[in-house]
Structure 1
């Protein structure tokens, strides 16, 4: 095993506990896995939270991001310990681009509804949560995800990435083909632009839970190949 360290970065409206299945799978294979808890308050704050974890790694690391976590790893992935990037139905802006720009020219996602409060923080709409985020989870697990949401400061989507790490680091992507949070064409476009090796898998935006084996297999491939 060429790389043994894996760092997992969650996305918006979630926390690190959703990675449990991936964590269990990879640790059973002998990987040292650490999970970032993003504050979701700003891109800088989330990158800082990720960098703190990267600093704790004892060697080359595979950095993995789901959804908004893809923007985070695109910036944080410039850290010298990062040897490979894995995007899990994730955003991947280019240098100088913000996250919001990724949506331009792609289809709307009517089942993915964000309710934004007066303070500028967004939650996923309770009624639409399961269909928009996790339609392949059972009702109880989807309800738990819904009720443990971490709101995100919507201003983060306007902050540009300084330098996209995928220009310098090899990338992989796992894309859920029934993802209702992003237009499928948008996910494919971002992954191809990053020269990522793409694996398509049937699943919802919650593929980090429901397709954890495919995600873990891809991370292991990145660790072996990078």
Structure 2
């Protein structure tokens, strides 16, 4: 019989992996929640969202989807699944239909990280080649994890998973936040994803916003309790509405 308590599904962003949710998972377990931290493929938005949608479809009962960084775009697309009750964005952006990261970023001061990313080629299948991005070790802490100690930041830099460059120009075909209640944690000292992008997209979506002024992009590692509390709030049965409704077709500039 399907569970009536939501399962929390955590989706990491680019240049990261599921281990960055370690502290958040522990905190959510202490609150009695079932948690799944998925391995985001990081190969492109359509591919990654389809993978996540399959994961969500395999869960009996309601789901709270949580996305960090680029994971926010992934849950925006995959969050249209009928058993998704709520969306939580952690140091993330909430794109609209047809809107990619590059289009959003042009409205604000650029992230100092973008020009520092390392570009390498990989084979996508057969003889086709594509580019993936990673963060050089020497700028990982100052630009991604400034509120972590140097040793831990060095570990995160070493275990990061590169992300396909195409995610910067991929755009969702559906914006799940238009029909699902959303929460957003804005990282005020973020040098990887500008806080202005986070605030703008969260406010546009009508999300419940928590801002941590001194938090870096690695907030799930540096502030796991705060992240878990926001997720726990989003998952409370009396705070979310039934998701058994279709996503409404709405023009990208509407709401």
The interval holding the TM-score normalised by the smaller chain is over 0.9
Give the gaps of 5 or more residues in structure 1: none
Q: Secondary structure at the match of 2:137?
A: coil
Q: Secondary structure at the match of 1:209?
A: helix
Report what 2:229 is aligned to: 217
Report what 2:53 is aligned to: 51
1:116 aligns with 2:119: yes
Report what 1:162 is aligned to: 173
Report what 1:125 is aligned to: 136
Decide whether the 8 Å contact of 1:8 with 1:64 is kept in 2.
yes
Measure the CA separation in 1 of the matches of 2:20 and 2:195: 22
Report what 2:125 is aligned to: none
Decide whether the 8 Å contact of 1:2 with 1:223 is kept in 2.
no
Decide whether the 8 Å contact of 1:37 with 1:49 is kept in 2.
no
Cα offset, 1:146, TM superposition: 0.2
Cα offset, 1:155, TM superposition: 1.0
Q: Secondary structure at the match of 1:127?
A: helix
CA root-mean-square deviation: 1.5
Which of 9, 19, 22 aligns to 1:20? It is: 22
Report what 1:184 is aligned to: 195
Cα offset, 1:220, TM superposition: 0.7
1:137 aligns with 2:148: yes
Count of matched residue positions in the alignment of Structure 1 and Structure 2: 226
1:175 aligns with 2:186: yes
Cα distance per residue 1:145-195 (max 9 Å; x no partner): 101111111012212110100000000001111111122211110110111
Cα distance per residue 1:22-79 (max 9 Å; x no partner): 1011112111100110111111221122123212322111100000000000000001
Measure the CA separation in 2 of the matches of 1:160 and 1:135: 29
- Which has the greater radius of gyration? 2
Cα offset, 1:140, TM superposition: 1.4
Decide whether the 8 Å contact of 1:34 with 1:53 is kept in 2.
no
Which of 100, 103, 106 aligns to 1:101? It is: 103
Cα offset, 1:99, TM superposition: 2.3
Cα distance per residue 1:68-110 (max 9 Å; x no partner): 0000000000011100000001021101212221101211222
Decide whether the 8 Å contact of 2:69 with 2:193 is kept in 1.
no
Cα distance per residue 1:101-127 (max 9 Å; x no partner): 110121122255211124411111221
1:78 aligns with 2:80: yes
